[in-house]
Structure 1
């Protein structure tokens, strides 16, 4: 699969393109420190089988897309403090920049408009695509994401600690152990955790790419963007919010807040669902995305 350089941001983006090029496009945007492969192949296949061209890509600073080598993210505690007192720290890039990357990918592929589906940080990026590039979106689906409202319940400590834990080693087995720990702590409590299946997924991702400096820079962009509620009030894109009722990382209240903030948004919540896409839910998630896309 190819890499393109966006004309608007000048960033090299690696992407995968599936399905008939003449069909309507679904653009999949993944989350914090996550490669495009976190979108299950089975979900991509399900959307293609419903008659869509599906494009998934690595965000900047992750996977096989361009890395912001040498850029320094501000310390997490200091950035949060400066944000609270109204003197934000300088960040290497913003979430809006990442939204422009996605639009730049559509430009490079000569796609006028797409159904944009974002998960977690990808949901935040998708929201900003709707804010800044509304006419380019046929629809918006925000999955397991948030408005950035600081008054919402915070992540469960075990989930956040696992996500941002520093790597102890670049040895393959240590990297796999780290990935499995993240999967266990943010995953869906209502569905079985298959350690062998999860290990194979993590191992494939580790062998594809490992780039630890990207995560703190992406996290800095999330913190810098702050609360989007006032900006989302102007969105006029048909919007769907999907959220797990048992998400330990981005709590259910965040999905509810997102649906309230976007005019006319429809909220769908699923019991037992956490901060992943377990095999048992792929059909339901695909069905909700397709129903929304067809009903815009």
Structure 2
């Protein structure tokens, strides 16, 4: 892997950790992670595949994760637009006017927001394991948790196995670092799905890197609260997106089943939809990060 260069950038009063890999003169790829996940959630193998294609790759820690600033959400609640402003601030900090934006899960919604509201910053968009930013999954979750049949006019809820895991995890002790590690690992195992093998050592390294012994261990959950805020800017039509768009979605995604990705691709003009056989809602399967990196590299070429 090319030696990365770290940079702290400012987004308003916040300080965000970021890292650039590759030559600063190469076209930029901005990697945007999902809920409660710092930049190391993007595996080195995926970064290497993009750098090998002649791109500089920038990954960063969202607010409330990793080495970036924490926010008092009760006093200063934020929304998807604020997280998108952080992404733009990272580009500014690295002197990048426009980038190929790649977002996973909540990061895919951040990418959509930028492509709609800041189109000049987005050269291409790649959205992984996500759905339309204007869709609220709350009603589908509520029906599933109440034991009611899915609404045929809505996108499907998470799998029964994942919902059962959430109930099981709520009862697990998580008072010590080892207990939290075990609970997080089990969540990633379930999110990986039941088809592709689970790379437990990679997941373990990620979970350990995600823990902040000096900060609020629950700060990343503020992302869930931000994601639930269905502000007017999120309801803007995705048909206005002009950036060439690729939607990648796992066929075994237990959190956002495949129709979520199909729905997103259907709302963006000329978007390409590519199902990834066996992939769940994670990048923790041997060989998967490089496979995705090569697919993304082809899209942004």
Q: Structure 2 length as normaliser, TM-score?
A: 0.84
Matches within 5 A, 1:118-137: 118-137=103-122
Structure 1: where are the runs of 5+ without partners?
A: 74-90
Further displaced range: 184-193 or 98-107: 184-193
Q: Which residue of 1 aligns with 2:65?
A: 62
1:159 maps to 2:157: no
Aligned to 1:231: 237
Please name the residue that 2:295 is paired with.
Answer: 288
**C-alpha spacing 1:283/1:196, structure 2 compared with 1 (3 Å):** closer
Give runs of aligned pairs for residues 262-277 of structure 1, distance below 5 A: 262-277=268-283
- Asked if 1:48 corresponds to 2:71, the answer is no
Aligned residues: 274
RMSD between superposed Cα atoms in Å: 2.3
Q: String of CA shifts for 1:95-140, please: whole Å, max 9, x gaps.
A: 0110011011111221111000000000001110111110111100
Aligned counterpart in structure 2 of residue 27 of structure 1, from 26, 30, 36: 30
- Matched position secondary structure for 2:211: helix
- Counterpart check, 1:146 vs 2:146: no
Question: Which aligned pairs between 1:1-296 and structure 2 lie closer than 5 A?
Answer: 1-6=6-11, 9-69=12-72, 71-72=73-74, 92-147=77-132, 148-150=134-136, 151-159=154-162, 162=165, 168-206=173-211, 211-225=216-230, 228=234, 230-277=236-283, 278-294=285-301
Query: SS at 1:16's partner residue?
Result: strand
The Cα of 1:222 is off from its aligned counterpart by 1.0
Divergent runs of 4+, >6 A: 207-210
**Which has the higher mean CA deviation after the structures are superposed, 149-158 or 264-273?**
149-158
Assess if the C-alpha contact under 8 Å between 2:37 and 2:210 holds in 1. Answer: no
Larger mean Cα displacement after TM superposition, 282-291 or 208-217: 208-217
Relative to structure 1, the CA distance from residue 215 to residue 201 in structure 2 (aligned partners, 3 Å threshold; closer, same or farther) is: closer
Q: Secondary structure at the match of 2:247?
A: strand
1:64 Cα shift? 1.0
Q: Shift of residue 205 of structure 1?
A: 3.2
Give the distance between the partners of 1:63 and 1:187, measured in 2 at CA: 22
CA shift digits 1:195-238 (9 cap, x unpaired): 44533443343368874332332111111136956421211111
Alpha carbons of structure 1 residues 179 and 139: separation in structure 2 relative to 1, 3 Å? same
Shift of 1:287: 1.6
Extract unaligned runs of 5+ from structure 2. 1-5, 137-153
Checking the alignment, whether the CA contact within 8 Å between 1:44 and 1:54 is kept in structure 2 is yes
Alpha-carbon shift at residue 161 of structure 1 (Å) = 6.2
* Aligned-partner SS, 2:224: helix
Distance 1:62 1:209, change over 3 A: farther
SS at match of 2:96: coil
Structure 2 Cα separation of the partners of residues 271 and 59 of structure 1: 29
What TM-score results when the alignment is normalised by the length of structure 1? Answer: 0.85
